[in-house]
Structure 1
């Protein structure tokens, strides 16, 4: 495991939707599809792996939360996400229930 990957893996955490609202308001949240590994995406962004990141964007596997998603999450303030901060972004992945 690379030093970057090891460092990032130690910073993955869980957060409730309520805690993420300020980051959504500053347009810093990036939603990661459940089809991807959060750590892989964080490592690609942190290491400027443009080709992988662009491919995921093109496939809509990483997106900004939609208005509908934000509305749904506002209705469930206890909703939880796995999170990884890659400044200035907060990568979030829904925790499947």
Structure 2
């Protein structure tokens, strides 16, 4: 499963993520977690690990401020991984917002 998910990691623009945000499916992954490791845990329904990351603040939903800022800056790019029904994303680095 790890290899299958790893090949689907890619960069996307905010405009590609808006529909997923509208259905509340975006999950922000902390920089110190591997995006593919998180994808494997979500896909394999490893609830204990996912819950621990949520409690530690390592998996979060975008705030209203995040969504407003990203909407204004449609060229923001994100590293992403789709694990249905969720889209795991990394916050854009400051230089990637314009």
TM-score (norm 1): 0.91
Q: Does the residue aligned with 1:83 lie in a helix, a strand or coil?
A: strand
Within 5 Å, which residues of 2 pair with 1:9-28? 9-28=6-25
| Separation in 1, partners of 2:91, 2:7 | 19
| Separation in 2, partners of 1:71, 1:43 | 30
Per-residue deviation at 1:94? 2.2
Aligned residues: 94
Is 1:79 paired with 2:76? yes
TM-score (norm 2): 0.90
| Residue segments in structure 1 that go unaligned for 5+ positions in a row | none
Q: Cα RMSD between the aligned structures?
A: 1.0
Moved over 2 A (4+): 94-97
| Residue segments in structure 2 that go unaligned for 5+ positions in a row | none
